[in-house]
Amino acid sequence: MKLVGGKLREWPPLLDKREIQDMVHGSISLFHPLDRVVDTREFQRLRELKQQGVTYFVYPCSTHSRFVHSLGTYWLAFKFVESLKRDSSLNITGQDHLCVSMAALCHDLGHGPFSHLFDGAFREASGAAPYTDVNGTWLPRGRPVEKAFLYDVVANSNDSIDVDKFEYLHSIERLTENARVLPDPRRGFPRICYAKKVADIVLSVGDSRQMLHNLMYQHRVVCAIETMVVKAMTLADKYLSYMGDDGVQYPLSKVTDNLEAYLKTTDAVLRDIANSTVPQMKEAQKILEAIERRNIPVMLSEVECGPSCADLKMISRKLKEELGENYDDNKIMVLARVMHRGLDGRSHPMTRVLLYDNKQTGEVVPQTVDEEWLRLKTPREAAIWSICLYVSRSMPTEERLKVSSAFDVVVTRSGLRSPESHRRNISS
């Protein structure tokens, strides 16, 4: 590497690199100074965070770590920018290339134990203060508007098509080779656009994400286990602490207040709970033992609905009212599944994607996806929203019938589609 006037001129270096063998990507070249980032405590911690959270309780081989995922995401970002650099008019510098690669490599450093389970359901259940959403108060700095497309390589806020999701695909190279940076016809700034001939591959990014959430990440048993893990962590919170660099012991829900304490937390918190000799941990330990013994709540019913009807708290409250004294918080729970395609629950990514005509000569102007194509290729709802009824595995069949019937009444009165076609065998 060479610094000219305080700025990086040449990157990546030709020789200063480390080769890593990856099962998915083959040989990954880790160029200096990225190797120095990997060899830090903060990054090595990612080895102990599973990419798919508690999914491995249902799919035993689902043990992919955020460490491995981060290396893969870095390599995809590195190669994507390398492909875009072939267009010399974009003036992508070595410094640009390094910064995007660094962003991809570090994009998961902030995850807590079981990732989104920690920063979502657990923090809410433990009463921790919500995170501050910086959207709208921070704007990307450091690059002129001509380099706006660089911010979309790792985390694309325009259409959600980015390298963090490319690991869902087998056709990555075909997609990136047909990507071009062109001016957004409506807003003017440059965006990453794709050739019309790879529109189906672009579509598959979001479709693959939704399918994996439906079949794996939000599998009915995974959702039940997630709830049990959150409950165990919440019960253990006051008695499970990690020392910060200031000598203070931080409970699990407060470790984000001190970096040293936070770095000590990984998915191993479940082992910390299970092995604890603190008497107050007994209830949390019983939950973890129930998971190990497969004493997991069973799903009785699932009803699909639109975003306007997916009010989990309202359905839970009405079910309590319907069952009255027969409602037991320890035996009945209502959960929601939201499986979108990467953008949000209401918008399909393909409505935001820009395509260019790869057969066009002369000036190329990207366009939004044709309405007829969208009608034929995309569903009416961008996401799958559903409300699920779970009961204790030990609940007798007669009680299950009462709970299931009450749930049917509630969802019908609430204007949701009848769950008859989704009802499971209540005696299972």
The per-residue DSSP string of 263-293 comes to: HT-STTHHHHHHT---GGGHHHHHHHHHHHT
pLDDT digits (tens, 9 = 90+) for 56-99: 999 999 999 999 999 999 999 999 999 999 999 999 999 999 99
- The pLDDT score that the predictor gives to residue 419 is 44
Task: Name which of 9, 184, 1, 183 is nearest 92 in CA terms.
Answer: 9
Amino acid at 18: R
Q: What is the CATH number of domain 3-208?
A: 1.10.3210.10
| H runs (alpha helix) in 293-396 | 312-323, 371-377
Task: Name which of 161, 171, 49, 31 is nearest 116 in CA terms.
Answer: 49
**Token pair for 21:** 């063998």
Indicate the pTM of the whole model: 0.92
Cα 286 vs. chain centroid, distance in angstroms?
29
Residue 361's pLDDT band, with cuts at 50, 70 and 90, is confident
Distance CA 297, CA 230 (A): 14
Distance CA 161, CA 191 (A): 11
φ, ψ dihedrals at 142, nearest 5°: 105, -15
- The pLDDT score that the predictor gives to residue 2 is 52
Q: What is the mean pLDDT of residues 144-166?
A: 94
Domain spans of the chain, in order of start: 3-208, 219-296, 297-340+383-428
Of 73-77, 139-143, 165-169, 337-341, minimum mean pLDDT range: 139-143
pLDDT digits (tens, 9 = 90+) for 188-200: 999 999 999 999 9
Q: Which fold has domain 297-340+383-428?
A: Alpha-Beta Plaits (3.30.70)
Q: What are all long-range contacts of 412-420, with beta carbons under 8 Å and residues at least 24 apart?
A: 413/318, 414/309, 414/311, 414/314, 414/315, 414/318, 415/309, 416/303, 416/305, 416/309, 416/387, 417/303, 417/304, 417/305, 418/303, 419/301, 419/302, 419/303
- Pair type for strands 367-368 and 384-391: unpaired
Q: List beta partners, residue 19.
A: 29
Is the pLDDT at 420 greater than 50? The verdict is no
> What is the percent of the chain where pLDDT is above 70?
92
